[in-house]
Structure 1
Amino acid sequence: MALGLVRAGACLLLGLLVCPACTQACLMCFVTDKERIRICQMFVGMKAWKTKVCDEKFQLAFEDLLKTEINYDERNNLHDSFTQMVHSLQETAVAKGFYIKAFSKAAEEMKKAILQLKKVPACVPPCGVQELTRRFICDGCYSLICKLPLNCPVKDVTVNRGDQAMFSCVVDFQLPKEDISYSWKFAKGGVRTQDMSYFRDLPRARGSVARIRPAKPVHAGTYSCVIRHDVRPVARLYFFLNVTGPPPRAETELQVTFREVVRWSRKEPEVVEPWKPGLGELLTNPWALTWEDLCLLAALVAVMVASLTVLVWMFCRWYFSGI
């Protein structure tokens, strides 16, 4: 029996060499040569030529799946479907079923299973490494993503001097939900380029949006934003900023006002003479008297009263001494 299995395997490999296109179907991606040989031996016995014919019919039944493309994330689900198909064919072989009819029925069931899988997202031009569009190609058993460049076309942004310039680092295709980061660079001097040798990092710019306010001629040039998933670049966007026009009126008026203030501050300071009210003003405006003025006035009145008292006492003494 072991010798027959070896001969059957050799004949099967020879058949695959004769029919290379048959080796590129979904069947060959998810069902091994050993599994197919075993199924055919269960249907037709151990004779090599019968096993070879059976395997050819097996692959012919799945010929319509040759150009099938599925969502890369659905590979495991499709593998499970093929595994269930293998078990079903083995049960049919044990029940002495006819293999051509069994293979045709299994292929139809696989077509239905593939239609139930999640569809492959369409590529969104013009740029970007769109990992979520990765698809599994049965014609070769390999995966493929959209063949688009990493660099996006330069977008022109024109603002008036003094206005706000804003750049949004956003792409039209879906990004992974986690581990997304943004980094910004600037090529100064008003140059419009995608040559990264002209760019310098902008460490203060973070996130998907960058703003410049107010925009000045020195800000003119190309800005670059790199979107990364983990550490791998996903897309590189470019924005060429052109700052035009004279300074805004508000800025001009402010500059004029500032110059007037500076000019006025250079003049000789005005000398403010202290107010010296007369006695009449003090009497008519008692609110103008300070606390010191009131103290001085009270002292003056006290001196006058004391002087008057002394004079009266001296007069009285003189008068009465002569009697």
Structure 2
Amino acid sequence: MSGFLTKLILVGSFVHAGLSCYHCFIDTEDSMRLCWGHILTEYNIRNVDSCFKMLDRMFNNNQNVIEAAKVGRGYDSVLRKIMMAEIMPIVEEFDQAMNNETEYEDRLQAAADKFITIASGLPRASGCFPPCGFQALGAVYNCMSCQYDTCEFPLDCPLQEITVEENNRTQMWCEVPFILPSDIQIVWRYTEVKTVLMDRFKEVTVGVDKLYSIPSARPEHSGTYQCEIFSQERSLVRIYYHLSVTPRAGVGHVKLQDVFNQALLPAGHFPLTLPQPPFALLRLPRSDLLTVCLSSLLLLLFLTLGLLYYKTTNKKNMKETDQEHEPLRKRYILHTT
């Protein structure tokens, strides 16, 4: 009967301690075996509760132990092996044996220090990167709750605004600051309105492309674009871009391009008219447009100089010809008279 009461007291002490760094890895039965023979030196009596308080102080409430146990996902099993390698030899040695509190203090403190040293060398978690996304690899092991703490961020990222001038290129990237699994799938969706409501979007592409590019943005491209990343059919994050395309007048530039094209053609040739989309010139960068303008002006200048040179040379040749035929002309006049 006395043995049953002793076990009941030990279990009660264990439940009172709750989950913690030590109790995450050491079974209840082993803890009872460890503390069974704890003797208070001052009173020379066995006191189990004092043993559990010592465990709390050295392991459960020791901030160095807690920090050392903050490992990345999958390494909690390694923590268990380290803790058991330090505690179980003491359990086997102290089982059903009387030992004073000084002996407990020295042996358990050495075990705690060894656990801190080895556990601190294990890989750390990447951590949580705000403000959004399910970051499984960023989860950190919490030995106070005996489980991994998730980042607890929403899947939906804040809406990002993009403004682009008409006919300019725009790019949207489906990228996140945290590590992604290797088997991701990316879905791009679009809606004409500014919203983050899922039922308003229509699927555009499915694959692994992180980049969504619009080579020449037009007003009808305005709207909200959503990028959602999946891994094993589980959503990891949803990124939103609201695109605003600013229109600009381009008809005058198109007509100017036609003039330049005709000026560059040889004389007597007419340009071949081909259908083309409106504002086609605006797809050229401004630097190219400036080059065309300068080239056309230089061509017109050369044509003008060439024409002047031709007229001057022709007039001179005619004058020389008249001088050569002047004697003949005089003879002809005398002969006829």
TM-score bracket for this pair, using the shorter chain length: 0.5 to 0.7
Deviations 1:188-230 (A, max 9, x none): 2xx2211222211103775111112221111110000001122
Aligned equivalent of 1:292: none
Structure 1 residue 183 and structure 2 residue 200: aligned? no
- Mapped contact 1:184–1:206 kept (Cα < 8 A): no
Deviation at 1:260, TM superposition (A): 8.0
Structure 1 residue 34 and structure 2 residue 34: aligned? no
Amino acid at match of 2:122: L
- Measure, in 2, the Cα distance between the counterparts of 1:5 and 1:248: 96
Aligned equivalent of 1:56: 53
C-alpha spacing 1:111/1:167, structure 2 compared with 1 (3 Å)? same
Rg larger in 1 or in 2?
A: 1
Structure 1 residue 143 and structure 2 residue 148: aligned? yes
- Count of paired positions: 251
Aligned equivalent of 1:25: 20
- Mapped contact 1:8–1:37 kept (Cα < 8 A): no
* Unmatched runs of 5 consecutive residues or more in structure 2: 40-44, 262-270, 276-337
- Mapped contact 2:128–2:135 kept (Cα < 8 A): yes
- Mapped contact 2:30–2:91 kept (Cα < 8 A): no
- Measure, in 1, the Cα distance between the counterparts of 2:239 and 2:125: 25
* Unmatched runs of 5 consecutive residues or more in structure 1: 264-323
Deviation at 1:253, TM superposition (A): 4.7
Deviation at 1:149, TM superposition (A): 1.7
C-alpha spacing 1:38/1:16, structure 2 compared with 1 (3 Å)? closer
Deviation at 1:154, TM superposition (A): 1.5
Structure 1 residue 113 and structure 2 residue 118: aligned? yes
Alignment of 1:183-262 (within 5 A): 183-188=187-192, 191-203=193-205, 207-246=209-248, 252-253=254-255, 261=273
C-alpha spacing 1:4/1:109, structure 2 compared with 1 (3 Å)? farther
- Measure, in 2, the Cα distance between the counterparts of 1:135 and 1:231: 24
- The structure 2 residue matched to 1:8, chosen from 6, 10, 13, is 6
- Measure, in 1, the Cα distance between the counterparts of 2:190 and 2:141: 39
Stretch of structure 1 that moved more, 33-42 or 210-219: 33-42
- Measure, in 1, the Cα distance between the counterparts of 2:223 and 2:207: 16
Q: So what's the TM-score if we normalise by structure 1? A: 0.68
C-alpha spacing 1:163/1:250, structure 2 compared with 1 (3 Å)? farther
- Mapped contact 1:37–1:55 kept (Cα < 8 A): no
Deviation at 1:246, TM superposition (A): 2.2
Stretch of structure 1 that moved more, 199-208 or 230-239: 199-208
- Mapped contact 1:162–1:247 kept (Cα < 8 A): no
Amino acid at match of 1:35: D
- Measure, in 2, the Cα distance between the counterparts of 1:186 and 1:205: 15
Amino acid at match of 1:14: G
- Mapped contact 1:92–1:102 kept (Cα < 8 A): no
Deviations 1:142-199 (A, max 9, x none): 22111222111112222222222211101112212x21110010012xx221122221
| Identity, % of aligned positions | 24
CA RMSD of aligned residues (A): 3.2
Partner SS, residue 143 of structure 1: strand
